[in-house]
Amino acid sequence: MRKILPLLACLGLLALGSAGSAVAFSDHIVLNQQLNGNSTFSWQHNLPGDFNPSVDTITSATLSINALANGVDVLLAENSVLIGTLLGPPTQRWDYSSMDFTKDGFNIKNIFASTNVGDKLDISVLAFGQSLALTDSTFTMEFTQGGQGGGGAPVPEPATLLLLGSGLSGLALWGKRRKTA
């Protein structure tokens, strides 16, 4: 039993992983804008102040735009969400996957490839010849912080714990052999 406890302690150190510092962010904007004909409306969403695109890793990012077509009875229809894919560089534009209204968001992770610290997310909606009422827009993002400054790639936590555990195990074995010799 006495020999098993140090072994279990070392295995516990190897198996124990520390959770990354995941940061959740949300920015909600009330729009209340009426678009008629081929009119366009643009706005900006804030990005987290502590978000550094060069070292942080985005785990998820969504943008939901609630809109209502004016030709629909407001009492019978619920607000819907325009969906599509926001294309990454070089176009960086929102490509509709469907002209229908659905209740899902869309993934916008690729847009951050050319984003700098302090930038805002620019959004534009074109009405495409129909009347459209934009009610609100919600941008959500979850990311893990990769470190301070723009240094090299961060060291993954499991590898760090594996190195620490193997080093401690080696020291324990070396100390035990030294005592018996």
Question: Which sign, positive or negative, has the C-alpha torsion 123, 126, 127, 128?
Answer: negative
pTM for this predicted structure: 0.54
* First-last CA distance in the chain: 23
Q: What is the pLDDT along the chain (181 residues), one digit of tens a residue?
A: 667 767 666 666 655 544 456 788 999 999 988 888 778 888 888 888 888 877 887 777 777 777 776 654 333 333 444 444 444 444 444 444 433 333 344 445 556 666 778 788 878 777 766 777 888 888 888 888 875 444 455 556 777 778 888 888 888 888 888 877 6
Position 2 in a domain:
no
Residue 33: CATH number of its domain: 2.60.120.230
Give the length of the chain.
181
Residues 129 and 64: their CA atoms lie apart, in Å, by 21
| Enclosing domain of residue 34 | 21-178
Q: How many domains are contained in the chain?
A: 1
Query: 23: helix, coil or strand?
Result: strand
Position 6 in a domain:
no
Position 158 in a domain:
yes
> Which of 153, 148, 149, 143 has the alpha carbon at shortest distance from 47?
143
CB proximity list for 2: less than 8 A, separation 6 or greater: none
Position 71 in a domain:
yes
Residues 70 and 111: their CA atoms lie apart, in Å, by 31
Asked if 26 contacts 7 with a C-beta cutoff of 8 angstroms, the reply is: no
Position 169 in a domain:
yes
